[in-house]
């Protein structure tokens, strides 16, 4: 006889984390996995990310300094690709370059749909959008100072 809805929806991963792994230890392990082994700084990561985005023809690249504003990362980069295919390709190449050059295993979300891909390197968060999706969410307005957000939108 099938169990309740909550039990039927639980996956093997849920049970492993819930019953055999200390959540704090798992979180700490995840943080360590994202720390670059060769001590790459957030600035060197940002420079490499911006170069990669330029090489792959990303459009309307905006970088946001999060130091002192948020503990989640030092920088955020927002850019656009012309199509879902280009968005996915930009994201995949960026993650590969960061892995090869810095040993960073980036967390990637949204690559399958190609509308909005988030790449989390630990120190730098990169958002790659299709233009329509970027216009809808307007992340720059949330993170940039008011005058700078208006200037970025005009360029």
pTM value is 0.71
What are the structure tokens assigned to 152, written together? 């970025």
- Closest by CA to 34, choosing from 3, 60, 81, 72, is 72
CB of 43 closer than 8 Å to CB of 73:
no
Break the chain down into helix, strand, coil percent, rounded to 5. Answer: 50, 15, 30
pLDDT, tens only, 115-155: 999 999 989 999 999 999 999 999 988 887 766 654 554 44
Residue with tokens 């999060």: 66
Whole-number Å distance between alpha carbons of 124 and 46: 7
Average pLDDT over residues 11-29: 44
| Percent of the chain topping pLDDT 90 | 50
């Amino acid at each position: 006889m099938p169990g309740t809805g909550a039990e039927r929806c639980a996956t093997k991963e849920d049970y492993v984390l819930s019953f055999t792994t200390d959540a704090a230890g798992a979180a700490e392990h995840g943080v360590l996995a994202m720390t670059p082994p060769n001590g790459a700084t957030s600035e060197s990561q940002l420079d490499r990310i911006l170069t990669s985005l330029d090489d792959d023809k990303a459009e309307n690249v905006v970088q946001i300094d999060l130091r002192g504003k948020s503990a989640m990362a030092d920088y955020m980069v927002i850019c656009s690709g012309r199509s879902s295919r280009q968005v996915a390709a930009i994201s995949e190449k960026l993650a590969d370059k960061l892995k090869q050059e810095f040993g960073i295993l980036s967390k990637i979300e949204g690559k399958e749909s190609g509308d909005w891909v988030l790449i989390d390197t630990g120190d730098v968060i990169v958002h790659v959008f299709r233009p329509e999706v970027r216009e809808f969410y307007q992340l720059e307005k949330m993170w940039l100072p008011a005058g700078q957000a208006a200037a970025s939108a005009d360029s």
